[in-house]
Amino acid sequence: MDTTNGHTVKPYLQSKIHPLKFALWVGIGSILMVFASLTSAYVVRQASGNWIEFVMPKAFYISTALIILSSVLLHLSYLAFKREEERPYKNYLLGAGILGVGFLIFQYQGWLTMMEYGLPLRTNASGDFTYILSWLHAGHVLGGLLAIAISILVAFSIPFKVTASRKLRLELVLTYWHFVDILWIYLLLFFILQ
């Protein structure tokens, strides 16, 4: 503490969260609100009747396994980066990106299967909500894949060095990717249990 003119002045305490991390968490909160409102609308609309029940396509379960594995590999990449293990860091990062693309491929297969069930858009609200929620999620996954692609580009084009700024960028990507992973698990369980 500092005393100025006989008054005690407390030192300025900086926030313990980096502004970029704070912005990411605000964004995640906003995304959660959108999905919460859409899943609430799903429940309300389902209760009003005229709802077609259908089995979730197997491709959605495969895509779930892929995004979980992708999230695990990205986390292992982050840990390897912190330990300054260049090769595992790069390999896990690349694997996470490939599995993330695999997630989208199997999501697409799931949408095709839903169309084979006879659930094109505007036929029944049950199909519409499932398409919209999964498409919206896929859009967020695309954003995460872009961030992973940039991380891969940085990893393979810039000499390896652990710096605070590179660690922060990787943490942001990791946090967002874990979020879209958990969000998809929530959506899949929501679809199954409804």
**pTM for this structure?**
0.86
Q: What percent of the chain has pLDDT over 90?
A: 66
Assign 55 a pLDDT band (cuts: 50, 70, 90).
Answer: confident
Q: Is residue 98 part of a domain?
A: yes
Q: Is residue 8 part of a domain?
A: no
pLDDT for residue 171:
97
Average pLDDT over residues 154-164: 95
Whole domain around residue 161: which residue ranges?
59-194
Contact 97, 149 (CB under 8 A): yes
Q: Is residue 10 part of a domain?
A: no
**CA–CA dist 167, 169 (Å, integer):** 6
**CA–CA dist 136, 3 (Å, integer):** 55
Average pLDDT over residues 49-61: 80
Q: What percent of the chain has pLDDT over 70?
A: 86
Instruction: End-to-end CA distance of the chain: give it in Å, rounded.
Output: 58
**CA–CA dist 82, 18 (Å, integer):** 18
Work out how many domains the chain is built from and give that number.
1
**CA–CA dist 21, 170 (Å, integer):** 11
Which structure tokens are listed for 21?
């991390």
pLDDT for residue 128:
78
pLDDT for residue 89:
98
- pLDDT of 58 above 80: yes
120/105: higher pLDDT: 105
- Domain with 179 in it: what CATH number? 1.20.120.80
- pLDDT of 1 above 50: no
Q: Residue 120: which H helix or E strand, with range?
A: none
Give how far the C-alpha of residue 87 lies from the chain's centroid of Cα atoms, to the nearest Å: 25
Nearest to 89 by CA among 138, 149, 155, 140: 155
Q: Is residue 80 part of a domain?
A: yes
